[in-house]
Amino acid sequence: MQVFLQGLLFGIAYIAPIGMQNLFVVSTAIEQPRKRAFQVALIVILFDTSLSLACFYGVGKLLQTTPWLELAVLLIGSLLVFYIGWGLIRQKEVAMGTMDTTFSYKAAVITAFSVAWLNPQALIDGSVLLGAFRVSLPANLTHFFMLGVIISSIIWFMGLTGLISKFKHLMQPRVLLWVNRVCGAVIILYGVKLLATFITKI
């Protein structure tokens, strides 16, 4: 139980700070009906937990030892992140929970994958942090730790989606539009960081 709680607390501390995944979940919860927002949250959870599992078992080392792969992920990641951020910034209105006909599950899956997996820094940092926990735990208890990490992802993203969906009606459409634009600007800054890292590594 103690190891499970360690994983749970680590998972919350790891994903709670504002990041691209959180911004995507917030933006979706603002724009889409609650049911659809929860469906997108499940997609985000799928990629987040798969990333955590990959980091736990050392995929970050693959990037560190394969320079061309790291460069490819940096370039593709930065371009996709720019595209996602720009899409949020250029919005002229917010759907505010209506059945937006422009919504695409394919685009949601690509975005969820991009904000999780196409960030080499997240892969490497996650591998270092989760790898450190892995070597500090008895081999027969590691699965309890990862179970805690996975549960924390479910609690966080579902809770965040539920909270935003429940209270978005208290906000004016113009405020929600600016929330989206700020999210877009922050996401673009992530893209700039990825592109700068790509350029310095060439």
pLDDT tens digits for 127-158? Answer: 777 776 776 678 788 889 889 999 999 999 99
Overall average pLDDT of the 70-85 stretch: 80
Whole-prediction pTM: 0.77
- The better pLDDT of the pair 41, 88 is held by 41
Check residue 5 and give its pLDDT: 86
On whether the CB atoms of residues 94 and 176 are closer than 8 A, the answer is yes
Spatial CB neighbours of 98, under 8 Å, sequence gap ≥ 6: 33
Q: In angstroms, rounded to a whole number, what is the distance separating the alpha carbons of residues 41 and 104?
A: 14
- For 77, the 3-state DSSP assignment is helix
